[in-house]
Structure 1
Amino acid sequence: MSNFFRLYGEKLLNAIGTHLFYVLISVSIGFVIALFLGILLSRVPKISKYVLPVLSVVQTIPGIVFIGILFLYLGMVPATVLAALSIYAIFPVLKNTYTGLIGVSEQYKEAAKGCGMSSLQSLLRVELPLALPAIIGGLRMSTVYIVSWAVLASMIGLGGLGDFIYIGVSTNNNTLIIAGAVPAAILAVGLGLLIDCFQKKAVPKGLRRDAK
């Protein structure tokens, strides 16, 4: 074990840092876009029956194929990975945001209107807080997915924990495979727990049961 860390310790730390960078940036970008689109679609639900199925089809495209296509146009730069992962990060948050917002009872909207709130005030003060459990559930799902998909960055030479996994597979070195897989699993669990902690702080106790 000590020999492994002597040989690969620095590379492993760099790979974890790169992997975490891809995850945090792409999930952040995807979350902002998804939140905006989810709010927009909740205002025009007739369009959502066309948009959501199209986006769900995009989610079925294998990650390596999508990254490969972007690689042809953007080249071997971090933006290639971030663009691909950001797109994959959108759908879980978008779907949950839309579902959470259209699931807000009309009585709450009418009460907000009766209090003299504008549509924007109703959205910010009533609808989004009530939809927050579902939104956070989508964020958790998206984050866990992106941690696993980020290993694909190594396929185009852009680092991350995938380097250890793919080198280990190609050389039949189980130690390297574990060195890449275990930190990725820990990242997924750790980030999921952080999001759960955020949920406990941001979501009223009575609404947490709705988060999935």
Structure 2
Amino acid sequence: MAYFNIFFSEYGGQLLFKTWEHIYISLIAVLLGIIVAVPLGFILTRVPKIADKFMSLVGIIQTFPTLAVLAFFIPLLGIGKIPAIVALFLYSLLPILRNTYTGVQSLNKSLLEAGRGMGMTAWERICMVEFPLAIPVIMAGIRLSTVYLIGWATLAAYIGGGGLGDFIFDGLNLFKPEFILAGAIPTTILALITDFLLARLETKLTPKGIKTSAETA
């Protein structure tokens, strides 16, 4: 215990700053993924002929090693947070896009027809029928993507993006296990807390009578 007290007295401020950097990088990447993938998922349900091909294309990105993607952006965007965020954004797309597409495609078609029969416009059907009913599946994709990105964000340190990965890389280079733990443990805690908060948000957004992703799991 005394050893940890000494560590926090020396590196506590730095740990808090790196934790904030980690949250910032992950949050921006996920928000960009949501902004792009959710509307795109709805669009693809309108053009199913190209949906599978597009999903496969996005899926190919997921097969690339994370370090390779980060290194690829160095000549284009330099080093720092921007290339790290762009790389993580690309990795966030597939789970959110796939779940949005699946959630909308699996809706009861009679409900959509009822919306048309009531004179709803396409935009009104999306906002008032499709999106609320597909929320549990969409949120499951967002939760999965966010948890993954919090873990992958540790690799941002490889290109000077900061975050808790700095502690892990320093620990590996200097053979200091306490540095590795200082990066790994907060990363795990952040992932668990974020998943819990997103689950609560999903419950609040899901209309009554519809099961959440946690209840259907």
Distance in 2 separating the partners of 1:131 and 1:68: 36
Counterpart of 1:167?
A: 170
Aligned to 2:135: 132
Taking structure 2 as the reference length, the TM-score comes to 0.94
Corresponding residue for 2:160? 157
Following TM superposition, by how much is the alpha carbon of 1:103 offset from its aligned partner in structure 2, in angstroms? Answer: 0.7
Unaligned 5+ segments in structure 1 are none
Please show how residues 1-212 of structure 1 align to structure 2 within 5 Å: 1-210=4-213
Write the letter of the residue equivalent to 2:35.
V
Q: Distance in 2 between matches of 1:5 and 1:94?
A: 41
Q: Deviations over 1:83-112 (max 9, x none)?
A: 111111111100000000111111001111
> Contact 2:133 / 2:207 at 8 angstroms: preserved in 1?
no
Query: Does the 8 A contact of 2:202 with 2:212 survive in 1?
Result: no
Partners of 1:123 and 1:157 in 2: CA distance: 41
4+ residue runs of structure 1 moved beyond 3 angstroms?
209-212
Structure 1 CA distance, aligned partners of 2:213 and 2:31? Answer: 23
- What is the percent sequence identity of the aligned residues? 38
Paired residues in the alignment total 212
Bigger mean CA deviation after superposition, 3-12 or 201-210: 201-210
- Read off the aligned partner of 1:175 and give its amino acid letter: E
How far the C-alpha of 1:10 sits from its partner, in A, is 1.2
Contact 2:81 2:160 in 1 (8 A): no
Residue type matched to 2:16 in 1? L
Q: Deviations over 1:133-162 (max 9, x none)?
A: 000000100100100110111101221100
Q: Deviation string for 1:56-76 (max 9, x for gaps)?
A: 111111111101110111101
| TM-score normalised to structure 1 length | 0.96
Q: CA shift at 1:7, angstroms?
A: 1.6
Comparing 8-17 with 201-210, greater Cα deviation is found at 201-210
Task: Write the distance in 1 (CA, Å) between the matches of 2:114 and 2:78.
Answer: 53
1:136-192 Cα shifts (integer Å, max 9, x gaps): 000100100100110111101221100111111222211111110000000000010
Counterpart Cα distance in 2 of 1:118 and 1:13: 48
For 2:163, the aligned partner's letter is: G
Offset of 1:119 from its aligned partner?
A: 1.5
* Separation in 2, partners of 1:208, 1:168: 44
Partner-residue secondary structure (3-state), 1:33: helix
**AA of the residue aligned to 2:57:** V
Cα separation, 1, equivalents of 2:197 and 2:10: 31
Counterpart-to-counterpart distance in 2, 1:206 and 1:172: 54
Q: Tell me how far apart the structure 1 counterparts of residues 166 and 80 of structure 2 sit (CA, whole Å).
A: 16
